């Protein structure tokens, strides 16, 4: 086995540790499920039967979401252990346990598909757990369980739907109230650990919610919804960490009151109790979950805006610095270039023969430096001082022809084949001819630079649906799929050992900024590594409406 493989594949020791880990998880989930089931059975409205909330489903769903599908045996085993003593028969209990396992497994699969995040910090997460996790997926356990009870004769056939509804609401409540609570206990990278003061505030609030709900459910005035402002406050102040326990406490107290038959439950029939209780529970769960998610999302947006503003400010400062530095470098560079050309031209006496090569190199390198400083200046200007949009209506054919003329000497030197295809009619666009010319210079020069073969270029101009498109096609080294957008990033260069040429990766960045300032676009239209690339520059066509505009287009 190679060293690399040994990193990826767990060795015997690791595998043993992971098997032990899984067994431990299964044991913990089984115990938690079973224990929660025993407590809930004690809170049944009719002893041992009608449970308004079934927390084990919430536990099972969170276990599958956190540990993965592999913990399903824990859910099945615990559900079987719970149902064997109360179920119709061992095989019936096994079917019920299978339904109880399938429901959270399906809920987890639905949530995964919906892109659910266990931080529950977006409105869509809250909606997903309410609709998919609770309401939809729990129809499985209710349907399987009720069918078993009816088929075994434990429940008469005409009670199918009422039994189904009780089963379904109990399981859905387990998901709605218990799963968010458990998820709120998980360590969350984004939310900071609460300070002592905050923990005390939250503790006080939760105790307040418990006491108020208790008091409200002790009288018959039907004022139970007065606890909502406190639940909303918990969600507002502490998001899920406040909302989930607040909802669980309020619902827990309400269930306890229903079991005791106090307050509004004193005179109600079983079905009325169920409705009063479940409507209250659903409202509590919805309010707390949705509000927590909305507050979290709003805070995140504010945080992103703050980060964006500060990153923007930092980038502006950097660009301003670059601008100043490039500006300061320009003067000494011009002087240097001037004296070098004096020296090589012989104006201050002819240079010794041995100086020719070093002087040639110095001149070439100084030109390179001038180009870099120029690029830096342009790039920083594009960012700091939004380019003054000087535009005139011009004939794009002329700009292309100008660029091809300028590149001709270099093309001859490299024995490059340059084919140009221009339409017969003028192509009017609005731009600065100098800047647009520079963009084309860059594209054509790149096409001749990034190649290992004698360059073959095809430059075409066409119009399509109110756009003029210049395509520069080459037979160069090409650009891989994942770098096609990145080459337009500031200071980005592809590292390719085949073509090592000087440059700082600003040309395409500047070109795109300029083209976009004229309402156009610049992109790599297609590219095949080793075969070549096609760069496409698109600009909006100008509609010629007056004689002046036409003249301008013709004159440029």
Number of residues that bind ligand ADP (CB under 6 A): 19
The verdict on 281 binding ligand ADP (CB under 6 A) reads no
Residue with tokens 């095809």: 458
Provide, rounded to whole angstroms, the least separation between the CB of residue 397 and ligand ADP.
Answer: 22
The verdict on 373 binding ligand ADP (CB under 6 A) reads no
The verdict on 474 binding ligand ADP (CB under 6 A) reads yes
Residues contacting residue 377 through CB under 8 Å, at least 6 positions apart: 323, 326, 327, 330
The verdict on 446 binding ligand ADP (CB under 6 A) reads yes
The verdict on 382 binding ligand ADP (CB under 6 A) reads no
Query: What does the buried/exposed string (b/e) look like for 467-484 if buried means 16 or more CB atoms within 10 Å of the residue's CB?
Result: ebbbbbbbbbbbbeeebb
Q: In this chain, which stretch among 330-338, 416-424, 432-440, 503-511 interacts with ligand ADP, using CB under 6 A? A: 503-511
**Closest residue to ligand ADP, Cβ-based?**
503
Q: How many CB atoms lie within 10 A of CB 197?
A: 8
Binding mask 167-196 for ligand ADP (x = CB under 6 A): ------------------------------
Of 134 and 447, which CB lies nearer to ligand ADP in the complex structure?
447
- Within 504-523, the residues that bind ligand ADP by CB under 6 A are 504-509
Q: In this chain, which stretch among 327-335, 403-411, 501-509, 537-545 interacts with ligand ADP, using CB under 6 A? A: 501-509
Of 208 and 505, which CB lies nearer to ligand ADP in the complex structure?
505
Provide, rounded to whole angstroms, the least separation between the CB of residue 372 and ligand ADP.
Answer: 9
Percent composition of the chain: helix, strand, coil (DSSP 3-state, to 5): 70, 10, 25
Cα–Cα distance between 478 and 481 in angstroms, integer? Answer: 9
Of 80 and 477, which CB lies nearer to ligand ADP in the complex structure?
477
Structure-token pair, residue 390: 């000087």
Q: In this chain, which stretch among 220-228, 229-237, 361-369, 476-484 interacts with ligand ADP, using CB under 6 A? A: 476-484
The CA–CA distances, whole Å, from 141 to 11, 113, 191, 213 equal 40, 20, 34, 30
Q: Say if CB 178 and CB 61 are below 8 A apart.
A: no
Of 479 and 541, which CB lies nearer to ligand ADP in the complex structure?
479
Q: How many CB atoms lie within 10 A of CB 306?
A: 10
Q: Say if CB 283 and CB 291 are below 8 A apart.
A: no
Q: Say if CB 180 and CB 120 are below 8 A apart.
A: yes
**List 285, 447, 457, 459, residue binding ligand ADP (CB under 6 A):** 447
Residue with tokens 């610095």: 321
- Within 424-443, the residues that bind ligand ADP by CB under 6 A are 442
Structure-token pair, residue 233: 């406050």
- Within 44-103, the residues that bind ligand ADP by CB under 6 A are none
Binding mask 527-546 for ligand ADP (x = CB under 6 A): ------x-------------
The verdict on 457 binding ligand ADP (CB under 6 A) reads no
As to burial, measured by CB atoms within 10 angstroms (0-12 exposed, 13-18 middle, 19+ buried), residue 288 is: buried
Structure-token pair, residue 454: 């004698």
Q: What is the DSSP string of 413-457?
A: HTT-EEEEE--SS--EEEE-HHHHHHHHHHHHHHHHHS-SS--EE
Provide, rounded to whole angstroms, the least separation between the CB of residue 365 and ligand ADP.
Answer: 16
Of 112 and 484, which CB lies nearer to ligand ADP in the complex structure?
484
Of 393 and 448, which CB lies nearer to ligand ADP in the complex structure?
448
Q: In this chain, which stretch among 9-17, 51-59, 310-318, 500-508 interacts with ligand ADP, using CB under 6 A? A: 500-508
The verdict on 351 binding ligand ADP (CB under 6 A) reads no
**List 177, 289, 477, 538, residue binding ligand ADP (CB under 6 A):** 477
Q: Say if CB 340 and CB 362 are below 8 A apart.
A: yes
Cα–Cα distance between 363 and 325 in angstroms, integer? Answer: 22
Residues lying near ligand ADP in the complex (CB under 6 A) are found at: 442, 446-447, 450, 474, 476-477, 479, 487, 493-494, 503-509, 533
């Amino acid at each position: 086995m190679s060293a690399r493989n040994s990193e990826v594949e767990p060795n015997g020791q690791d595998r043993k540790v992971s098997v032990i880990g899984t067994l431990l998880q299964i044991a913990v989930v089984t115990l938690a499920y079973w224990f929660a089931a025993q407590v809930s059975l004690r809170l049944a409205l009719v002893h041992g039967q009608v449970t308004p909330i079934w927390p084990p489903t919430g536990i099972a769903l969170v276990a599958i979401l956190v540990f993965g599908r592999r913990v399903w045996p824990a859910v099945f085993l615990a559900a079987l252990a719970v149902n064997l003593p109360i179920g119709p028969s061992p095989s019936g209990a096994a079917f019920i346990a299978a339904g109880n396992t399938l429901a959270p497994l399906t809920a987890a699969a639905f949530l995964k598909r919906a892109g659910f995040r266990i931080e529950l910090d977006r409105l869509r997460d809250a909606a997903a757990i309410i609709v998919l996790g609770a309401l939809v997926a729990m129809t499985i356990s209710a349907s399987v369980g009720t069918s078993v009870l009816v088929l075994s004769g434990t429940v008469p056939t005409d009670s199918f739907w009422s039994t189904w509804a009780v089963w379904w609401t109990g399981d859905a409540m387990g998901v709605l109230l218990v799963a968010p609570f458990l998820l709120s206990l998980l360590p969350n990278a984004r939310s900071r650990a609460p300070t002592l003061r905050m923990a005390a505030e939250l503790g006080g609030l939760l105790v307040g919610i418990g006491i108020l709900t208790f008091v409200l459910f002790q009288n018959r005035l039907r004022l139970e919804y007065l606890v909502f402002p406190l639940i909303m406050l918990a969600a507002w102040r502490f998001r899920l960490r406040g909302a989930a326990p607040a909802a669980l406490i309020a619902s827990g107290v309400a269930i306890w009151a229903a079991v005791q038959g106090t307050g509004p439950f004193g005179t109600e029939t079983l079905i009325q109790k169920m409705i009063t209780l479940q409507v209250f529970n659903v409202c509590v769960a919805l309010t707390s979950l949705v509000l927590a998610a909305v507050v979290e999302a709003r805070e995140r947006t504010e945080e992103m805006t703050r980060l964006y503003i500060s990153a923007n400010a930092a980038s502006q400062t950097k660009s301003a610095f670059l601008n100043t530095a490039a500006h300061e470098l320009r003067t000494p560079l011009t002087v240097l270039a001037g004296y070098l050309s004096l020296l090589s031209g012989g104006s201050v006496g002819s240079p010794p023969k041995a100086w020719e090569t070093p002087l040639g190199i110095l001149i070439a390198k100084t030109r390179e430096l001038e180009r870099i400083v120029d690029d830096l200046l342009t790039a920083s200007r594009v960012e700091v001082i939004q380019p003054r949009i000087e535009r005139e209506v011009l004939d794009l054919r002329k700009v292309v022809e100008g660029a091809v003329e300028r590149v001709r000497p270099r093309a001859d030197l490299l024995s490059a084949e340059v084919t140009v295809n221009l339409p017969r009619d003028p192509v009017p666009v609005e731009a600065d001819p100098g800047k647009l010319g520079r963009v084309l210079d860059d594209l054509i020069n790149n096409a001749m630079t990034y190649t290992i073969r004698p360059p073959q270029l095809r430059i075409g101009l066409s119009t399509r649906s109110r756009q003029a498109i210049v395509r520069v096609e080459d037979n160069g080294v090409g650009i891989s799929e994942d770098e096609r957008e990145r080459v337009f990033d500031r200071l980005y260069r592809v590292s390719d050992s085949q073509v090592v040429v000087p440059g700082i990766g600003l040309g395409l960045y500047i070109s795109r900024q300029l083209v976009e300032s004229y309402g156009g676009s610049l992109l790599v239209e297609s590219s095949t590594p080793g075969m070549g690339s096609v760069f496409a520059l698109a600009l909006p066509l100008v509609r010629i409406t007056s004689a002046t505009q036409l003249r301008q287009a013709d004159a440029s």
